Amino acid sequence: VTEPTTPLQIAEYRRYWLARLLAVFATVSMVVLIGYQTYDIARSDYGMSARDAAFMLGLLGAAQFVPLAVLTPIAGVAADRFDRRHVVLCAVLVDACIAMVLAVSTLQGWLTLPLLVALAAAHGAARVFNGPALSAIAPNIVPPALLPKAIALGAIAWQVGTVVGPAAGGFLFAAHPAAPHFVSAGLLIVTAVLVQ
């Protein structure tokens, strides 16, 4: 049997790479749009000044940061003690639920500032668990000699998702405000299937 010369020759790594790309694409798009929708709703529905609406964006960022500060030690332990694929699965499914709540709330006109801040905090908590566990999967599925290539390819997936996700989310939002959230939910469900 010929040894693989690139991680992409390993089927399990291809699934992992695609899962990473889709997860980043979906979640970064979601974060950017939550920020936009928070600012927009603060201005239109709550009648806030531009300054007060910008302050709400700061609160939104804080809501995402607090879980990072509090849960990082727990997330590291979870990634070490439990099957990393299961940790990623749980985090991705939480994010898929957040995306569905955003989609339906946007579609029905139910979005409020407290809901957006709560969803941002929940996403922050999911991201704390998803990041370390997803990054730690690659060494388990490629031979040590291919690990540098696997890490480089994983970084490419992250960069592409980070750039293309918000751009695609913006185009979808222009077509219909709920569309990017439905797409994110779908991509996160596909991610959950890929990591198992």
pLDDT in tens, 183-193: 999 999 999 99
CA distance 92 to 125: 11
Contact 37, 109 (CB under 8 A): no
Cα–Cα distance for residue pair 46/40, rounded to 1 Å: 9
**Are the CB atoms for 38 and 31 separated by under 8 Å?**
no
Percent of the chain with pLDDT over 90: 85
Instruction: List pLDDT tens digits, range 150-168.
Output: 999 999 999 999 999 999 9
**Most distant CA pair in the chain: distance in Å?**
67
- Amino acid identity, residue 11? A
With bands split at pLDDT 50, 70 and 90, how would you rate the model's confidence at 196?
A: confident
